[in-house]
Amino acid sequence: MGIVNVTPDSFSDGGLLSGPEDAIRHGARLADEGADVLDVGGESTRPGSDTVSIDEELDRVIPVIEGLSKALPDVPVSVDTRKPDVARAALDAGARIVNDIGGGRDPEMLGAVGPSGAGVVLMHMLRDPKTMQDDPRYADVVAEVTEFLRERIEAAVFAGIPEERICIDPGIGFGKNVDHNLALLRAVPALRPLGATVMIGASRKGFIGVLTGVEEPSERLEGSLAVAVVAASLGADLVRVHDVAATVRALRVSDAIVRELVDG
Q: Kindly tell me which of 125 and 253 has the beta carbon lying closer to ligand 9MG.
A: 125
In this structure, are residues 142 and 183 in contact, taking their beta carbons and an 8 Å threshold?
Answer: yes
123 lies in the site for ligand 9MG, by CB under 6 A: yes
41 lies in the site for ligand 9MG, by CB under 6 A: yes
121 lies in the site for ligand 9MG, by CB under 6 A: yes
80 lies in the site for ligand 9MG, by CB under 6 A: yes
Pick from 172, 221, 234, 244 the residue near ligand 9MG by CB under 6 A. 172
CB 97 → ligand 9MG: shortest distance, Å? 10
Active site residue 240: yes
Q: How far is it, in rounded angstroms, from Cα 81 to Cα 126?
A: 16
Collapsed DSSP state (helix, strand, coil) of residue 251: helix
Active site residue 176: no
99 lies in the site for ligand 9MG, by CB under 6 A: yes
What's the CA angle centered on 261, arms 186 and 171, to 5 degrees? 30
Q: Kindly tell me which of 84 and 171 has the beta carbon lying closer to ligand 9MG.
A: 171
243 lies in the site for ligand 9MG, by CB under 6 A: no
Q: How far is it, in rounded angstroms, from Cα 255 to Cα 122?
A: 25
Residue 224: CA atoms inside 13 Å, Cβ hemisphere, count? 24
The strand pairing partners of 41, in sequence order, are 5, 80
Q: Kindly tell me which of 28 and 236 has the beta carbon lying closer to ligand 9MG.
A: 236
Instruction: Catalogue the long-range contacts made by 53-59 (C-beta closer than 8 Å, 24 or more residues apart).
Output: 54/83, 54/85, 54/86, 57/81, 57/83, 57/86, 58/85, 58/86, 58/89
Q: Which parts of this chain interact with ligand 9MG (CB under 6 A)?
A: 41, 45, 80, 99, 101, 121, 123, 169, 171-172, 199, 201, 240
Kindly list the catalytic residues.
Answer: 205, 240
